[in-house]
Amino acid sequence: MPSTGATAIANANIAFIKYWGNRDEKLRLPSNASLSMTLAGLETETTVEFNDGWQRDEVFIGGEAQTGAARERVVAQLEVVRARAALGLRARVSSRNNFPSGTGIASSASAFAALTLAAAAAAGLSLPEPELSALARQGSGSAARSVPGGFVEWVMGEEGKPETSLAYTIAPPEYWDLTDVIAVVSQNPKSVGSTSGHALAKTSPLQAARVATVPERLARCREAVLSRDFARLADIVELDSNLMHAVMMTSMPPLIYWEPITIAIMKSVRRWRSEGLPVCFTIDAGPNVHCLCAAEVAAEVHRRLHDNLDVKRVLVAGPGGPARLRS
Ligand code: PMV
């Protein structure tokens, strides 16, 4: 095998029930199960080539050669795939996002899902989706959920069997035309990334209570999705996001990802819902606010964010498909 390559595309995802904290940091085995929607059109496209003449793995993100920790993390994931394929060749990885990275829009999810699929295909592997999801998880936990499409659940998996912690589709993208209207309030990279954040979760006295009550929220969230019940979904999604941020804020040292505009949007979204607009908020490890709403009110939510709250940059995404190879 002198030289082989493959290109894969994966979508970002937004969690309705959040993943925060690991029971095994290295394998990225989560402290709790989570549930998300894969986001159409917010993509990472990654090409992986293996060549027997190369001495070293090279990593380019957005056209720029990576060094240090960013490169190491990609190389570690290449190792995961090389071990699975029993392959020793060095690789060249080239990756591009069509949305801003490091802002609380889960770029690591789409990035490690696309990397894992492209590397596996370039290594000559054709893996079933559950196995790809479990492999992608080792690069970034939430990447497990960017392998399948639509509405997705990531299970904790059995003790001693890391390969069973994977994500699968509970409803296809066309099941419910929910829309994520994302208020991008900052494009600066976040100061504390989620890998360090997960490690801090256990320092919060609230984490144990959050984790203990996930199964009940997850069941309610799954039921709300499967019955397309927006009012029920809204309450549970906001509660779960607030619980994760309560853990973040009470970690040692505390992580405060919100900006004043984040809180202004949260309050407005709750007021709009009380006035009859079907919209709710959820926030990841950054200040941007994901406003989930029925597709028919997405334009109105977008307009209000822009006109009432002066949000200049808004991204809109419906439910997306699974990670795929470019033919
Ligand atoms: O996959 P990571 O390590 O970037 O963790 C993502 C964590 C959150 O986005 C904050 C929550 C989630 O479930 O996506």
- CA-only gyration radius of the chain, Å: 19
Residue to mutate (ligand 1; options 26, 284, 288, 290; most atoms within 8 A of CB): 284
Locate the ligand 1 atom nearest the alpha carbon of residue 19 and give its number: 13
Which pLDDT tens digit goes with each residue over 263-272?
999 999 999 9
* Contact in structure between 37 and 172 (CB atoms under 8 Å): no
Residue 187 DSSP label:
-
pLDDT at 103: 55
pLDDT at 167: 98
Average pLDDT by stretches of 10, the chain with 327 residues = 90 98 97 98 97 97 94 98 97 92 72 98 97 98 98 97 98 98 84 90 98 98 98 98 98 96 98 98 95 98 98 96 96
pLDDT at 186: 82
Cβ(19) – ligand 1 distance below 6 Å: yes
Cβ(133) – ligand 1 distance below 6 Å: no
Provide the angle, in degrees to the nearest 10, between the axes of the packed helices 68-85 and 107-122. 40
Q: How far is CA 108 from CA 103, 104, 113, 195, in A?
A: 11, 10, 8, 10
pLDDT at 242: 98
Residue 271 class from Cβ within 10 Å (0-12 exposed, 13-18 middle, 19+ buried)? exposed
Cβ(284) – ligand 1 distance below 6 Å: yes
pTM of the entire structure?
0.96
pLDDT at 188: 72
pLDDT at 202: 97
pLDDT at 178: 98
Cα distance between residue 256 and residue 238, in whole Å: 17
Say how many Å lie between the CA of residue 89 and the centre of ligand 1: 31
* Contact in structure between 207 and 270 (CB atoms under 8 Å): no
Q: How far is CA 169 from CA 147, 175, 185, in A?
A: 9, 11, 30
Say how many Å lie between the CA of residue 278 and the centre of ligand 1: 25
Residue with CA at minimum distance from ligand 1 atom 8:
284
Looking from the CA of 105 toward its CB, the CA atoms found within 13 Å total 29
Locate the ligand 1 atom nearest the alpha carbon of residue 106 and give its number: 9
* Contact in structure between 106 and 142 (CB atoms under 8 Å): yes
* Contact in structure between 280 and 292 (CB atoms under 8 Å): yes
Token pair in block for residue 18:
């959040």
pLDDT at 102: 53
Locate the ligand 1 atom nearest the alpha carbon of residue 198 and give its number: 3
Token pair 């030289």 is found at 3
